[in-house]
Amino acid sequence: MHTRLIPVKYIPLVKGGKVLYKDSSRQRVIVVAKTNKDAKRLIEALHDFYEVRYTEHVEKEHWLFSDLLIFDYFDENIVKKSKESEVPYIFLASSMEEVEKYSLAEDKYILKGPGYLNYLNNIVNLIVEKQQLERILGFEKEKYLSLVNSMGCGMLVLRKNDGLILFANKVAKEVLGYQGDGLIHMKLSDFVDSEKDDSQILSSEPKINLECKLQTHLGDKRDVRYSSSETIYGAERVIQFTFMDITLQKRNMKEIMLQWRFLDNAEEIAYATDEKGIIIYLNSYAAYKHGYRMEEMIGTDEKNYLSNAEQKSSINEKLDNTGRWEGKEEHIRNDKTTFIVDTKKSILHTDEGTYVLTIGRDVTEELELRRKLKFHSLFLQNISEIIIVINEKNEVLYLNEVAKRFFRIKDNDISSINSKDNPMLTSFLENFFEKLKLMQNRGTIDIYEKGDTKITLEYAFQQILEEESNNFLGYIVTAKDMTEFYTMLEKVKERAVLLDHLHDLVIASDMKGCILYANNSWLKEHGYESIEEVKGKKLSDGIVDIDEQLRNTINEHLANKGIWRGKMLNYTKEGNSFTVKMTIVRLKDEDGYFIGDVGIIPSKEVEKKAGETNES
């Protein structure tokens, strides 16, 4: 094999006086001839800025690393490989019979006619130039497609005269619910909701930030905000249609507007403030409670209506950290009198900005009533009957210790007694309010425990009236259990139907400490989504932190008293620790044998920090 190397000379690709392609490496041209003499006349006909090599036989590397192959003779195997290869090639034919025999395309051969060597170099130039342009265009196309597919919005290229889709980027396919080339060769009219939008998009006039609806592959409609403009794509006039899916945004705005309309008709204080604390919305009830007209309060600072403006900074800090705040605020009326509002604040994010939504209710009279009840509490606690105090809104304000024990309510749960999570108390109240409609001041109420155990309560009630104005404030209800209370606490705790609706965190394990059950509150607080994540797992395996001394102490209490109370360090799924007050009750079967333990964590006692465990 003979090879001739030409000295390196840099040659840029220039067209019309403009550099289109710049490459310091020269194009490699391989001349394939049977003799050195044949190859020499071809090499001498080519410019010296090509790296020309001569060979008698084509090797594998020539098919991989050549810019052009020039064949001075025909071979059936060579012709076949040339047609299969991506490398540009050209055959020098002695006659048209050779061309027809191997079925060569017009741009793949040169007839060896008189003076053909004079224009061989020009043909080689055209072939190499074409290859360079194809490389540049391929690179630019790849770069363009990569940019278009990484956009956050959808893009369609539409043929102007009929709306045929010529190109769709990745986002457009995802929004419209198509994959691969499913969108290609469909028309804009297949997606646009109205003919008016279809003709408007395909018009020559540029459009910016208009809205329309597009129908997806599944048949639902998406709201989009779009811009469009006319351009040239290939040899055709096309419309570049770029759009952003705003369906969720519009639904959120509709939901917010619905909430505002709902709040306008609610007898609760509701208003929203911007990041500077300026009131930008309030309902009519909020204005009424403050003694102003709505237009007088809008645009003013919320601090004008708070007696403790310094409290605002600590509230904002809590909102920044958690997005919510709950507590009591003292508000100032127009006549300078004050009232107490039980307030819930939350962060509200919209396209127009971030706001603080405040919802509250006037609890001034309720707090006064509780204050009075506090003086009587000592006497009420020593009464053996059930005592319940209900306000004018039919909400429970107070339960004495007998009532708490009867209805299974812990002290720290008193704030959630109106949530209907306690079936027995809910059943009693529903029956009581029915009796109230019939003006029956005393009588009996039947409630059911565990579905079929009937408990009969004898009740009586009196109205509570304000001393000076004689305004109605609520009721005080007394009740007495007239049946023997057979059901033990442990049996109630076995009811998963109740457990899953308790705010308390409940977990049950067998005598080996393996988890059998956990209610929704426990799973949520510890960062789990399903009981299957912890079922069968040992409590000591990353759930609680308990040493041997504390374990022995707990087992001793459970064996002797059946119950243990104390603080215990818990871990979430993510490994975060927090200390809680916990009650553990040991369960027995009907034969009196121990079968497992139930741990109860009052929801209000969860302390979000690590700490030491202490036995009570």
How many Å apart are CA 326 and CA 315, to the nearest integer?
9
pLDDT at res. 305: 92
Tell which residue, 269, 274, 297, has the closest CA to residue 347. Answer: 274
Q: Average of pLDDT values for 82-88?
A: 86
CA 491 to chain centre: 40
Q: Contact 348/359 with Cβ under 8 angstroms?
A: no
pLDDT at res. 292: 93
CATH architecture group of domain 13-145: 3-Layer(aba) Sandwich (3.40)
The percent of residues in the chain predicted with pLDDT above 90, rounded, is 6
Confidence of residue 339 (pLDDT cuts 50, 70, 90): very high
List, for residues 225-267, the tens digit of each pLDDT value.
898 888 877 667 888 898 988 887 777 666 666 566 666 666 7
CATH domain 383-487 topology: Beta-Lactamase (3.30.450)
- Taking 90 as the threshold, does the pLDDT of residue 616 lie above it? no
- Taking 70 as the threshold, does the pLDDT of residue 392 lie above it? yes
Confidence of residue 375 (pLDDT cuts 50, 70, 90): low
Question: Higher model confidence: residue 498 or residue 168?
Answer: 168
List the Cα angle 349/354/358 in 5-degree steps: 85
Confidence of residue 12 (pLDDT cuts 50, 70, 90): very low
pLDDT at res. 253: 64
List, for residues 268-327, the tens digit of each pLDDT value.
888 889 888 899 888 888 898 999 998 899 889 998 999 887 788 888 888 888 889 999
* CB-neighbour burial class of residue 220 (10 A; exposed 0-12, middle 13-18, buried 19+): exposed
pLDDT at res. 5: 37
Alpha helices in 168-297 (DSSP H): 170-176, 195-202, 247-264, 284-290, 294-297
Confidence of residue 152 (pLDDT cuts 50, 70, 90): confident
pLDDT at res. 415: 61
pLDDT at res. 610: 43
pLDDT at res. 19: 40
pLDDT at res. 331: 92
Q: Is CATH 3.30.450.20 the classification given to domain 151-245?
A: yes
- Taking 80 as the threshold, does the pLDDT of residue 358 lie above it? yes
List, for residues 539-560, the tens digit of each pLDDT value.
888 889 888 888 889 988 888 8
CATH architecture group of domain 250-362: 2-Layer Sandwich (3.30)
Q: Average of pLDDT values for 506-522?
A: 85
- Domain residue ranges of the chain, discontinuous segments joined by +: 13-145, 151-245, 250-362, 383-487, 491-605
Equal fold, 383-487 vs 491-605 = yes
CATH architecture group of domain 491-605: 2-Layer Sandwich (3.30)
